[in-house]
Amino acid sequence: MSIRDAASRGFGQGAAAYERGRPGYPAEAIQWLVAELRLVSGRTVLDVGAGTGKLTRELISCGARVIAVEPVAAMRAVLAQVVPAARALDGTAEALPVADASVDAIVAGSAFHWFDGPAAAAEFHRVLRAGGRIALVWNRRRREQPLHAAISAIIEPYRGDAPSAYRGEWRVPIVAGGLFGAVAEREVPFEQRVDADGLVDRVGSTSFIAALPDAERERVLARIRALAADYEPPLRLGYINEAYVYERR
């Protein structure tokens, strides 16, 4: 099974856990993105790899038209239910289901590291209007924190070839070829508070954990639930929201 097939299977099986357990995006970061992408009424923003709409829902109130592209049917079904104001389309970053020069901005929340970077960059360039901008956003776990470190010790042996945004390879296809120029970047620390069930959902939504055979996945999640018992509730998961904005050349 390819990395992408495994991811599709994992995200499909973990869609409900993803919606329940993944953190959203801090208000301060959203306000900054809306300003940098110039999202106002009359403009169109494309959310690529939208998942269950964690970022999509935050963009609705800006007044721009929001189109969400998500290839995994189970994730897209949750998105359509939770964010009915957005138009949800089946598609991938490498073959976007929109016309040339038809959108003003593109966002990818916790997703670009899963894309074929060069192909996605070329597609972003194709569908953006002149001067359009892209924002690549991640909620990075503060893995130096004891709880996150303990989670990593349990799940990382299962990662295999699953890509990670932490290594930064995603930057190369964006800046290569001269298609985009860097505009701005920003970090916003924030915290997610969960109970034991929330922690299990958070870990269970990780693609390579969700894709495990049922019995093995349940063993991993049982270890996570036991870990939760070692901490005073609510459990505090620290993150750094990272956002990087580029402009089409």
User: Would you say residue 219 lies in a domain?
Assistant: no
Would you say residue 109 lies in a domain? yes
User: DSSP state, 74?
Assistant: H
What pLDDT does residue 12 have?
Answer: 82
Domain count, the chain: 1
**Per-10-residue mean pLDDT, the chain, length 249:** 61 90 97 98 98 98 97 96 98 98 98 95 98 97 97 96 85 88 97 98 94 96 98 97 97
74: phi then psi, degrees, rounded to nearest 5: -65, -40
Neighbours of 35 (CB within 10 A): 12
Asked if residue 134 belongs to a domain, the reply is yes
Contacts for 209-218: CB closer than 8 Å, 24+ residues apart: 209/10, 209/14, 209/155, 209/158, 210/9, 210/10, 210/11, 210/13, 210/14, 210/17, 211/6, 211/7, 211/9, 211/10, 211/13, 212/158
Whole domain around residue 97: which residue ranges? 3-142+164-192+238-248
Does residue 200 lie within any of the structural domains? no
Residue 1's pLDDT is 44
Return d(Cα 46, Cα 246) in angstroms, integer.
14
Residue 174 counted as domain residue: yes
Amino acid at position 94, single letter: E
In a domain, 154, yes or no: no
Residue 95, SS3?
Answer: strand
Q: Token pair of 63, please?
A: 């007044």
Of 77, 249, 105, the residue nearest 178 (C-alpha):
249
Q: What's the pTM? A: 0.94
* pLDDT (0 to 100) of residue 223: 98
What pLDDT, on the 0 to 100 scale, is given for residue 6? 58
Q: Does some domain include residue 45? A: yes
Residue 214 within a domain: no
Residue 100 is part of a domain; what is its CATH number?
Answer: 3.40.50.150
In the prediction, which pLDDT does 233 show? Answer: 94
